[in-house]
Structure 1
Amino acid sequence: PSYYRTDSILTLRTSGGNHVTVKIVKVFTPFSRSQVALVRTTEGLRDLPPLFIIKTFDPRFYVTRFNRKGVNVWPWSLQAEADAEALRRRGTPKQWQYDLPDKGDLVGWEQYCYQRMDYDFSNEVKAYDRLQHFQGDHIPSFYGEAELVTTDVKRAIVPRTLLIEYIPDALPIHKINKELITPTLAKSFLTLIKSFHACGVVHNDLHRGNILVAGGSKNDQTRAVFIDFGEACLREDETEEEWAATVRFCGDTKCMLRQLQECLGTD
C-alpha cells in the first residue's frame, strides 16, 4: 500500500487514546505474518524514543493470502471484512484458528485472517510480558500497543500494532564477523533460550534473521539478542513433563546450535 513506503507519514493511536505521528524511515519487506517498519516520531508522546519499530498485524496483508510467487489469491474486500466484523460483534464463535475456509467463502477468509492476526498479536504481547527481565538487553524493549489509524482505503477494522525498541547496532548472526562470536557469546545464546523456556516461552522461529548480535564497539561488549516472538509457544497449564515435551518438539536449542555451526563453519 502507498502508506508503507519510505517518508510516508502514519498516525498511531495508543492504548491510552493519544495520537502519535511518525515518519517511515525503512520498511522491512517482504511482509509475512506482520508488517514491520522503522519509524521516526514527528509529533506525539515524549516518552517514546525518536526511532522505534512498529510491527503491525493487518489481516489485509496476511501471508496466507499470497501464493509462493507473491500473487494475491485471496484478495481483501471491504464488504467481506465488514461482514466478518459484524459476525464478531454479534458474538459468532470463532473458527479453530488453523481451519482454512472453503475457497468461495470470502467472509470466512476474512474471519480466518483476522483471527490469525489477533492470535499472533496477543501471543507476542504475552511473550514480551513474560520476558520483561530480558527487555532492553537480550530482547527489544516493548513500549506498548497502538492502532494504525492511517489507511489508503476505507476499513471495517483498525489494525493493531506493537511499538518496539530499535537496536541500531544489532546485526543478524550470519552477518557478523565470526571472530566476534566467542565461546562465551555462543554459550549465552543457548543459556538465554533455556531461560526463556523457564519463563514459559519457546521462541519457535529461530531462523538467522531473528538471532542478532549487538554491540561490538570499543566500549560496548557484544551480546545476544532475539527478536520476533510472533510464533512463540507459551506455557499455559501444562505439567512439567508436558512442557518439556513441547520444548523438545519446537526444537529451539537444535535450531540455535545449527545456526551457530553454520556461522562458525564448524561441526
Structure 2
Amino acid sequence: MLYLHPIYQPGAQISLNLRSCADDKTERNVQATVAKAFTPFTMSQVLLVDINPPIPDNLPVANASFILKVYDPRFLQHRKGTKSSAPHPWTLAAENTAARRRAFGANTFLPTWWPDDADAAGWEEYYHGNLQQMFKNELSAYTRLLPLQGQSVPLCHAHGTLVLPSPAKRMVVPRVLLLSYVPGPSLRSVNPSRIAPIVARGLLDTIRAMGQLGVIHDDLRSDNVLLSPSDEPSRAFVIDFGSSEVRAHQTDDEWDWTLAENDEPKLMEMMLDKLHIDHSG
C-alpha cells in the first residue's frame, strides 16, 4: 500500500496563506480539508480540497472544492532513486543546511546539475530549485493564459504558501497554487469513440492559442489533458504547466521560431492519431 503522509490523508486539515491570482495585494489565511490525494506524487503534490467556511471573498462562494498543488520537495517521487541516481531520502538536517547556504548567498547551483550522491544538502538544493522553478512556471503560465482560464485551462484562483504544522523546524516553506477542479477523466483513459471530433479540434485550437499567448507547455501527454463532463465530454482542458516555457523578452520573430521548433499543435495531432481520436473536419 502506498504510504501517504498524515497531512495529505483524506480528512486532514491544511492551513494556507493565499493571495488571489487576480490581485495579490492581500494575503488571507484559509483553512481547507483534504478530500482526496492524487497519488502517486511525482513533482508537486496534487490534492482535492474543500475550503472550510467562512469562504474568503477572493474565492468563489458557489464552489468550495478546489485543486491544491503543493510544491514541497520532501515528497518527490525522484527521491526513491532512478536507474541513473541513488535514492535521496529527505532529512531535515540536509534541507536546513541547503537553506542556510542560500541565506548566505552561496547558491551557485543550477536545477539542471545533478549533485554527487553523497552530497545530501546538494540534493536538497537540487529539489528545492526545481520546485521553485516549477511553481514560477505554472503561475506565469496561468497569468499568460487568462483568456483561456475556465474554458480550456483551469482557473487559477490563488497562490501562496503552506502553513507547516507546529512545531515546524523546517526553513523551507512550500509554495502552493489553488486551481479550479476539472472533474473529468484524462485523454488516455477515455474510449476514443466517446470523443467527438469537435472536442479534439477544440483541443488543437487551445494548443495554438497557448502559443500565441506566449506559453509552450513542454509536457504534452494524454495524462495532462482532462475531458469534461465525464459522461459526455464536450470540452478538453490542458493542465500541469510546471515544465512550461513562458515568453519573456523574445521578439516576435524569436518567439515564432520557438513555436515552430516545438510545434506543439503537430505533437498534439500525432498524439490524437496514436490514440485513434478523430480530429478531422
Instruction: Tell me what 2:196 maps to.
Output: 182
For the pair 1:40 / 2:50, whether they are aligned, the reply is yes
Contact kept in structure 1, 2:44 and 2:69, CA below 8 Å: yes
Large movers: runs of 4+ above 4 Å: none
Task: Note the C-alpha offset of 1:138.
Answer: 0.6
Residues of 1 paired with 2:33 and 2:112: CA distance? Answer: 35
For the pair 1:235 / 2:242, whether they are aligned, the reply is no
Instruction: Tell me what 2:41 maps to.
Output: 31
Residues of 2 paired with 1:232 and 1:14: CA distance? Answer: 23
Instruction: Tell me what 2:110 maps to.
Output: 96
Residues of 1 paired with 2:187 and 2:70: CA distance? Answer: 25
Aligned residue pair count: 263
Structure 1: tracts of 5 or more residues without a match: none
- Structure 1-normalised TM-score? 0.88
Relative distance call for 1:72 and 1:13 in structure 2 (3 A) is farther
Instruction: Tell me what 2:219 maps to.
Output: 205
Query: Which of 32, 38, 49 lines up with 1:22 in the alignment?
Result: 32
Contact kept in structure 1, 2:164 and 2:173, CA below 8 Å: no
Query: Which of 180, 193, 206 lines up with 1:192 in the alignment?
Result: 206
Instruction: Tell me what 2:142 maps to.
Output: 128
Residues of 2 paired with 1:72 and 1:9: CA distance? Answer: 34
Residues of 2 paired with 1:240 and 1:134: CA distance? Answer: 21
Query: Which of 2, 8, 12 lines up with 2:6 in the alignment?
Result: 2
For the pair 1:57 / 2:71, whether they are aligned, the reply is yes
Relative distance call for 1:123 and 1:44 in structure 2 (3 A) is farther
Task: Note the C-alpha offset of 1:176.
Answer: 3.1
Task: Note the C-alpha offset of 1:249.
Answer: 4.0
Contact kept in structure 2, 1:207 and 1:255, CA below 8 Å: no
Task: Note the C-alpha offset of 1:231.
Answer: 0.7
Instruction: Tell me what 2:96 maps to.
Output: 82
Deviation per residue, 1:169-213 (Å, 9 max, x gap): x22123334344222222211111111001110111111111122
Contact kept in structure 1, 2:30 and 2:51, CA below 8 Å: yes
Deviation per residue, 1:111-157 (Å, 9 max, x gap): 11111111000110000000000001111000111211144863221
- Which has the higher mean CA deviation after the structures are superposed, 239-248 or 14-23? 239-248
Residues of 2 paired with 1:237 and 1:224: CA distance? Answer: 30
Q: Equivalent pairs: percent with the same residue?
A: 33
Instruction: Tell me what 2:22 maps to.
Output: none
Residues of 1 paired with 2:50 and 2:172: CA distance? Answer: 25
Query: Which of 237, 241, 255 lines up with 2:267 in the alignment?
Result: 255
Contact kept in structure 2, 1:11 and 1:20, CA below 8 Å: yes
Relative distance call for 1:72 and 1:154 in structure 2 (3 A) is farther
Task: Note the C-alpha offset of 1:37.
Answer: 0.4
Deviation per residue, 1:42-89 (Å, 9 max, x gap): 2453343310010010111234322249x9811111122112112222
Residues of 1 paired with 2:151 and 2:86: CA distance? Answer: 38
- Which has the higher mean CA deviation after the structures are superposed, 194-203 or 55-64? 55-64
- Structure 2-normalised TM-score? 0.84
Residues of 2 paired with 1:232 and 1:265: CA distance? Answer: 25
Listed as ranges, the matches of 1:214-233 within 5 Å are 214-215=228-229, 222-233=234-245
- Which has the higher mean CA deviation after the structures are superposed, 173-182 or 183-192? 173-182
Relative distance call for 1:74 and 1:249 in structure 2 (3 A) is farther
Contact kept in structure 2, 1:11 and 1:19, CA below 8 Å: yes
Task: Note the C-alpha offset of 1:247.
Answer: 2.8
Residues of 1 paired with 2:231 and 2:79: CA distance? Answer: 42
Q: Which amino acid aligns with 2:37?
A: V
Instruction: Tell me what 1:12 maps to.
Output: 16
